[in-house]
Amino acid sequence: MRRVMDARKSGRVHVVRLDKGEPVVASLQAYLGEHRIRGGSVVGLGAVEAAEIGYWDAARRTYDRTTIAETRELLSLVGTISRLDGAPFVHAHVTLAGPDHSVVGGHLFEARVAVTGEFVIDEAPIASARVLDDATGLKLLRFAEKPARPKPGRNTRGSAGRRK
């Protein structure tokens, strides 16, 4: 994968810019892995092409997928961050607009940046993973038995709890 992404971080917030030609989901998941982000949320906007989106058909227990080849405005990408089979996973939904101002949306499998993509990742120290749910046939978000704990030796009391 050709990497031209640029990113900045402040606290637990990461701002990521993807450039023309970069795959959205794969690039974000690679970034999560590199920065060891295990949970949180992601939002984004920009312009994409070759967007593969889907609608979950609960009766058939499968996604109805479609690929939108032409460039569409990425009005909104909203997603959660977890682990799937031990690897970083972005579960995202998108809203896309066409040149006639019509809007389509659904679960995002992948899309390629057509102009630019701007994403904000809000990192959360909450361990979660996707686990198959027999009732729905989906890999649903499940939280770890114990919450993620700070590393030993770190001050977790904040400035109000510091000793003088």
28-37 residue pLDDT tens: 999 999 999 9
Check whether 149 has a pLDDT greater than 60. Answer: no
Domains of the chain: 6-148 (3.30.1330.80)
pLDDT band of 141, cuts 50, 70, 90: very high
14: nearest Cα among 117, 123, 116: 123
Write the DSSP assignment of 120-154 as a string of letters: EEEE----EEEEEETTTTEEEEEE-SS---PPTT-
More confident residue, 158 or 12: 12
Residue range 132-148: mean pLDDT, rounded = 83
* CB proximity list for 80: less than 8 A, separation 6 or greater: 40, 41, 42, 90, 91, 141
Two structure tokens written together for 131: 């686990």
Check whether 23 has a pLDDT greater than 70. Answer: yes
Per the DSSP assignment, residues forming a β-bridge with 42 are: 79, 121
Whether 11 and 125 have beta carbons less than 8 Å apart is answered as no
Residue range 78-106, pLDDT digits in tens: 999 999 999 999 999 999 999 999 999 99
120: nearest Cα among 51, 25, 33, 41: 41
Comparing 25-39, 99-113, 125-139, 149-163, which segment has the lowest mean pLDDT? Answer: 149-163
